[in-house]
Chains A and B, each alone.
Chain A
């Protein structure tokens, strides 16, 4: 057990938390936050597992750097799409019909 492995396990936990939120939350912006949590967890797993026992490793670090920039672009695009969706439909969640019944539990 090295500190790197600890961060890898924390990444696995973040993936789980994010996945739960992604399924459970209704507001699209919250879904986006949960999705970003999954992404951060994945990055931690990638780097933490690769550096377990052999010190800093530039290859997974470079891949994660690329991943972070792509994920911010994806997040920005998702925000544009969500705002457009809100603008056109007036809803912030995909299940517009039962949004009244599901509001209390999820938000």
Chain B
């Protein structure tokens, strides 16, 4: 009886959630929207410095979100690294000795690097941008990691710190400098919008890739004989 209740109650609660969500969706869809966002955006596009609306929103109109996002990512990365054992970076057991993986690496890593560069560059006027490029770059790093290529920059040290903090630091610097120059916080000075956006996107790409890769690498390995890591 208790078991049945333990399954039915969550089931009923979830179904109620779905029904409530569906009803509210239906009523919202029926009402008129007070502002026409796409039209508003299209009217302001030539002030944004880029030609792709999503990039314009991400790095100009709503750049505050992006700034806080990279801050969240850096915090997550630091937390992940603090869980890791540095020795696990060199653990030979983590390497996958698979001839298919080696072949894939030789062909894919240059291609993926090229793809990441293209995605970053395409962000100005086509779908693409820092997030996608960062994800591809991180995937590239994961592939190298699995193949046992030493990634020395992921060891605790100056390079890791710079890599993690670079995106947030540059973004914040631009925001504060433009505020000191008389504009609003995060409002780019006129005429410098496009170069600033490209700079920020480039450093964001590296930082995002670094955070994701660090989180992958820092996953604790289950090494029973490790000194100081035993739970007993």
9 contacts between A and B (CB under 8 A): A12-B18, A61-B54, A73-B73, A77-B76, A77-B80, A80-B79, A80-B215, A89-B231, A105-B7
CB neighbours of A74 from chain B (8 A): 76
CA distance A89 to B229 in the complex (A): 11
Q: Is the CB of B15 within 8 A of A87?
A: no
Among B4-48, those with CB < 8 Å from A are 7, 10-11, 13-15, 17-18, 21-22, 25, 28-29, 33, 36-38, 41
In-complex Cβ contact of A15 among B18, B77, B222 (8 A): B18
CA distance A89 to B135 in the complex (A): 32
Within 8 Å of chain B (Cβ to Cβ): is A81? yes
Main secondary structure on A side of the interface with B: helix
Among B181-232, those with CB < 8 Å from A are 208, 211-212, 215-216, 218-220, 222, 229, 231
Q: Is the CB of B57 within 8 A of A58?
A: yes
Q: Is the CB of A59 within 8 A of B57?
A: yes
CB neighbours of A5 from chain B (8 A): 25, 29
CB neighbours of B231 from chain A (8 A): 87-90
Q: Is the CB of A62 within 8 A of B29?
A: no
CA distance A42 to B29 in the complex (A): 16
In the complex with contacts A58-B56, A77-B76, A84-B220, A63-B25 CB distance below 8 A: no
Q: Is the CB of A58 within 8 A of B21?
A: no
Closest to B65 in A: A66
Within 8 Å of chain A (Cβ to Cβ): is B105? no
Q: Is the CB of A73 within 8 A of B212?
A: yes
CB neighbours of A50 from chain B (8 A): 37
Q: Is the CB of A77 within 8 A of B215?
A: yes
